Amino acid sequence: MLMTRPARSQYTEVEAAEELGVSVEHLRNIVRNHVFERAEDADNLPVTTFQQSDLLILRLLAGMPTNPTLQD
């Protein structure tokens, strides 16, 4: 039986980085490079939270596998 964690509705920056398997700094770089027009725009957000759909899009933008449990 395959055990999976239930999907969460929101992730903190640390939790999102953990789900993506990257450091918080790497997550921040992905967001700066792919989401904001200017890097300074990211500094104007007081708290960043992510939804499951955000994590999927960040995986796609960063060229990461969308299902990290499957091996090629």
Q: How confident is the model over 30-55, as pLDDT tens digits? A: 888 877 777 667 667 667 889 999 99
Q: Does pLDDT of 71 surpass 70?
A: no
Average of per-residue pLDDT across 17-21: 91
- Predicted TM-score (pTM) of this structure: 0.69
For the chain, the structural domain boundaries read 11-62
Identify whether the C-beta of residue 62 lies closer than 8 Å to the C-beta of residue 34.
Answer: yes
Distance CA 66, CA 55 (A): 9
